Structure 1
Amino acid sequence: MINFNSLQLVVNNKYSFVGIDKQEQNLRLCLPKGFNESKSTLDNFDSKRDLFFLFYKILTTFRSICVEKGYLDDNNQLTNDRDGFLKTKIGSSIKSYQEDNENIFYYKIDILGKLLDAYNEPKILSLASRLGKQDKFDLSKIHKYLHQGIYLSNDAVYIDQMNFPRKVVQFQSNDIVTMYCYLFFEVKQQLKETTNPNIISLAEDFRERYLNSPDSLFDENSYESVLNVLKDALETINNYTVLKDADYWEYYDAIELFLYGDLSQGEEGEIWGINNFYTVWESMCLTYLTENNDLSCLLHCDTRYLSSKTLDKLQASEKVIDINNVFKINGVSLNPDAVLFSSKNSDFIQQTTYEIFITDWDNHGYKTQFRYDNGFNIYKENESIFINTGYLNQKKEVYTAKILERIYSRKDNQYLIINSSLPRAFYSFWDIPKIINNEHLNLMSYLNHFFYLALESKVFTWNTFCERILKPLNVDINSNGDFDEYNVFTRSLFRDRSAQSIQNEFEKFITQILNNQKPLIKIIDVKYCDSKYFSDPNNKKENKEKNVRKQFIYEYSLQKKLNKLFSTDSKPEIQSSFWIPDYCPDDPNLFRRNYDFLDGYIELNKVNFLLLAENYIAN
């Protein structure tokens, strides 16, 4: 069992090991780069406990990817001596594309892994069952219960219960199982994962009979006392259990290693963790990119450490720009981490106020239309825009204005004053003009026009638009290519328009955006470095030769391709971006940009480690 108080926190800027190691008889929790500034605030029991379990989940996710893709070579040495308690494993190595970049998982004492691997829900519930009394009767067997009956004055016999086999959770025997359930539930709580209620019942029964307190094994104030009670309980259970079968020893060994496994007994060096965390950091960043962008816009991605499920989706996506073989120079293929196409539409959004007229048009109960009279330069004088609106769970006969006036004020009882974007439960649609300017994009953003949602989500193909924008809102298209006529929300927005006509409008809109709004292509390079590395003058030469020069080659190669695909006026801009780890637990934003780096020519993004980890673990 790990005593988190005894762990020293270190951030080693020369090596990439993350995990627990032993140096000069001291156990150290080695944190990733980017944690330096927060190290002092993390030096307490709770923080070190939470970080350990976070790294455990991250490494488990990464290891499962490596197993799935056949990268893992197991070099395990397992000692299973019941006279002792130390079970040792050296670890597993990851097949590397470069001989000097060997990756090794270390788990010389796999305390958590053995406990979690022993979980077998059907077996646990089966071992926790017994013969129980039931209220039903079998008259063919009544002669076996006459001696238990109550004889009445009329010579009748009364029998209230019979014994039949039935599965019931029992709490008086087989304590090795309930003890395992208690430890399993404690660990699952720290991992923030759900547990079967039946397992929780067994765990709580063990707590009541042995601990009799709400104390936890992972609480600083009760850690030692609970650990001592559990060790005594394990000894008692082992002494009084007569029949010890294979199932018993499986749970006993897992519990014994968990309670008695002492990291300090290991030799000096890496005990648990991974020696090259940069591969994990790369996997975390690229998994985020694939899960949070339209894959048709992810023009290129290093797929070595992406799961097979993610890789299948990535390969199936149709790219908005084909850049195959772009990074092949003199027969050598270069491999940037990622190339992402995106629109710069957010640059056009400005704070403003719109007055939209509340019309009295009732289209068979769909009272959802507004009129915008201010007009744009691209429209003829005095021409208006008729805006269809809708909201989730919408009902007929209820005008959308009645709902929106709870949020926005009225003017002259005829106009709604829209001074901020509509809540995300509200959406709008209207036919876009032949030429779109920034003012029109601004109105689309304020009124949550469906096509603008596509820009926000970096969606540029119709199939992805249906999958990521329409489908989550239950906007379905039937086999005839029509929207559901009974869906009030859909009818309010699209009236009697076919899905094909909406698709045509969407594709015209996207074409305009790509040609006129000067989109951006980012070449992303995932760096496992501390931010101080880039600001240190001593690293200037190395940074130039190792990082910056490589980005220039990427940009030059991509620029030649774009020159063939776009005119000078519509050609996308290219920007290089470095992603580095940053520990900022109170920041809700994923990125913090350092504008001082190279005068902004290369974007240096500090990526919030905790937010990225949550995304990685969830996938």
Structure 2
Amino acid sequence: MALAADFRHRYVTPEASLYAGEPTRCEELAELLRHILQMVDRNTPFRHGAYREIYEALHGFLHAGIGGSAKDGLVWGVKDFWAVWESICLVHVVNQNPGDILTCDMEHLPVLLSAPERRRAWLKQRALLFARNGIRRRPDLVLAGGDDIKVVDFKYYAYMRQQRRTAEADEIDKIEKDYLSMEAYGLLLQNHFLRNADARANRLSLEFWLPGAKAARQPSRQQPPWDPPLSVVHLPAEDLLRGYVALYPHLRLMR
């Protein structure tokens, strides 16, 4: 702790952050830390095993974002944090209710947390439910708990606008595209159940999962109401992140 405090006093301003504040300031701090790490490595003549492990972890965190060649579902880095949030949410669900997963976009799920046959089953369900008109849609998560079906989309936003853009808007922004995708997922799944006379067509719900200080749920206030019903759900991000970080040493032992 003393070393960390001394480092912060020497190199980092009190308000500096890798995540909060202006993006340019965050990137400036990341670049400073990359430079310091490079200088430390250049001036370290003897590199034992513990040093290499720490260096490689810090280098991956500060440089990699998402390793383009990584196929194990593990996410590193300060760039593209939305992918970290997706991985955190998937790991949380696997730890809580793995049997409820009907299908998911498993790109950011550590491969050691699911058997190959389960992944094949998820892919088969995704193609059956969401592949239409030459488009292979990939919802983040579909949960089937009892008779209820839930489509979940993970979003790394501080705030999710409740009101939809009107048809007269000049352009479709990112959040409106998220709404359109969620609408398509819900209608495709509902149509599948109706064609198969499945009562779950009337027990379908849609959720956006966002990071929050504490758990909370806010049903959509859109009028007319969403069908299927839509809610914005905030998850306790700090608790989920602690569980996610604690997972990494166990995955390393499982390799």
Scaled by the length of structure 2, the TM-score of the pair is: 0.64
1:331 equivalent to 2:134? Answer yes
SS of 1:325's partner is: helix
In structure 2, relative to structure 1, the CA distance for the partners of 1:314 and 1:534 (3 Å cut) is farther
Question: In the alignment, what sits opposite 2:241?
Answer: 613
In structure 2, relative to structure 1, the CA distance for the partners of 1:573 and 1:77 (3 Å cut) is farther
1:574 equivalent to 2:204? Answer yes
Question: In the alignment, what sits opposite 1:94?
Answer: 66
- Alpha-carbon distance, 1:566 to partner: 3.0
In structure 2, relative to structure 1, the CA distance for the partners of 1:579 and 1:80 (3 Å cut) is same
Q: Is the 8 A contact 1:597 1:603 kept in 2?
A: no
How far apart, in 2, do the equivalents of 1:332 and 1:21 lie?
Answer: 40
**Rg (Cα) greater in structure:** 1
How far apart, in 1, do the equivalents of 2:151 and 2:231 lie?
Answer: 10
Trace 1:378-457 onto structure 2 (pairs within 5 A): none
Question: In the alignment, what sits opposite 2:4?
Answer: 2
How far apart, in 1, do the equivalents of 2:234 and 2:127 lie?
Answer: 29
How far apart, in 1, do the equivalents of 2:120 and 2:96 lie?
Answer: 14
How far apart, in 1, do the equivalents of 2:86 and 2:112 lie?
Answer: 17
Q: Is the 8 A contact 1:283 1:306 kept in 2?
A: yes
How far apart, in 2, do the equivalents of 1:538 and 1:290 lie?
Answer: 34
1:522 equivalent to 2:150? Answer yes
Amino acid at match of 1:2: A
Coordinate RMSD, CA, aligned = 4.4
From 281, 284, 288, the counterpart of 2:88: 284
How far apart, in 2, do the equivalents of 1:17 and 1:324 lie?
Answer: 42
How far apart, in 2, do the equivalents of 1:307 and 1:563 lie?
Answer: 34
Question: In the alignment, what sits opposite 1:408?
Answer: none
How far apart, in 2, do the equivalents of 1:79 and 1:8 lie?
Answer: 27
How far apart, in 2, do the equivalents of 1:570 and 1:538 lie?
Answer: 30
Q: Is the 8 A contact 1:336 1:554 kept in 2?
A: yes
1:551 equivalent to 2:175? Answer no
SS of 1:578's partner is: strand
Listed one character per residue, the Cα deviations across residues 461-480 of structure 1 (whole Å, up to 9, x for unaligned) are xxxxxxxxxxxxxxxxxxxx
1:310 equivalent to 2:113? Answer yes
Pairs aligned (count)? 211
From 213, 218, 221, the counterpart of 1:594: 218
Amino acid at match of 2:89: C
- Alpha-carbon distance, 1:309 to partner: 1.8
How far apart, in 1, do the equivalents of 2:24 and 2:205 lie?
Answer: 28
Listed one character per residue, the Cα deviations across residues 214-263 of structure 1 (whole Å, up to 9, x for unaligned) are xxxxxxxxxxxxxxxxxxxxxxxxxxxxxxxxxxxxxxxxxxxxxxxxxx
In structure 2, relative to structure 1, the CA distance for the partners of 1:79 and 1:613 (3 Å cut) is closer
1:81 equivalent to 2:43? Answer yes
From 63, 66, 78, the counterpart of 1:274: 78
How far apart, in 2, do the equivalents of 1:618 and 1:552 lie?
Answer: 35
How far apart, in 1, do the equivalents of 2:63 and 2:43 lie?
Answer: 19
Q: Is the 8 A contact 2:149 2:205 kept in 1?
A: yes
From 25, 29, 32, the counterpart of 1:21: 29
In structure 2, relative to structure 1, the CA distance for the partners of 1:15 and 1:581 (3 Å cut) is farther
Q: Is the 8 A contact 1:285 1:526 kept in 2?
A: yes
1:604 equivalent to 2:232? Answer yes
SS of 1:291's partner is: helix
For structure 1, the residue ranges without an aligned partner over 5 or more in a row are: 28-75, 98-103, 106-272, 344-518, 585-590
- Alpha-carbon distance, 1:2 to partner: 3.2
In structure 2, relative to structure 1, the CA distance for the partners of 1:15 and 1:521 (3 Å cut) is farther
In structure 2, relative to structure 1, the CA distance for the partners of 1:551 and 1:17 (3 Å cut) is farther
How far apart, in 2, do the equivalents of 1:323 and 1:281 lie?
Answer: 21
- Alpha-carbon distance, 1:9 to partner: 5.0
Amino acid at match of 2:63: G
Trace 1:461-480 onto structure 2 (pairs within 5 A): none
SS of 2:128's partner is: coil
SS of 1:274's partner is: coil
How far apart, in 1, do the equivalents of 2:136 and 2:24 lie?
Answer: 26
How far apart, in 2, do the equivalents of 1:16 and 1:575 lie?
Answer: 38
In structure 2, relative to structure 1, the CA distance for the partners of 1:82 and 1:602 (3 Å cut) is closer
SS of 1:304's partner is: helix
Trace 1:40-119 onto structure 2 (pairs within 5 A): 79-81=41-43, 91-92=63-64, 94-96=66-68
How far apart, in 2, do the equivalents of 1:8 and 1:563 lie?
Answer: 54
How far apart, in 2, do the equivalents of 1:92 and 1:22 lie?
Answer: 12
Q: Is the 8 A contact 2:87 2:109 kept in 1?
A: yes
Amino acid at match of 2:104: C
Listed one character per residue, the Cα deviations across residues 340-390 of structure 1 (whole Å, up to 9, x for unaligned) are 0123xxxxxxxxxxxxxxxxxxxxxxxxxxxxxxxxxxxxxxxxxxxxxxx
How far apart, in 1, do the equivalents of 2:141 and 2:101 lie?
Answer: 7
Listed one character per residue, the Cα deviations across residues 501-543 of structure 1 (whole Å, up to 9, x for unaligned) are xxxxxxxxxxxxxxxxxx2211100000012x42589999525
In structure 2, relative to structure 1, the CA distance for the partners of 1:276 and 1:15 (3 Å cut) is farther
How far apart, in 2, do the equivalents of 1:558 and 1:592 lie?
Answer: 26
1:301 equivalent to 2:104? Answer yes
Scaled by the length of structure 1, the TM-score of the pair is: 0.29
- Alpha-carbon distance, 1:326 to partner: 1.8
Listed one character per residue, the Cα deviations across residues 158-200 of structure 1 (whole Å, up to 9, x for unaligned) are xxxxxxxxxxxxxxxxxxxxxxxxxxxxxxxxxxxxxxxxxxx
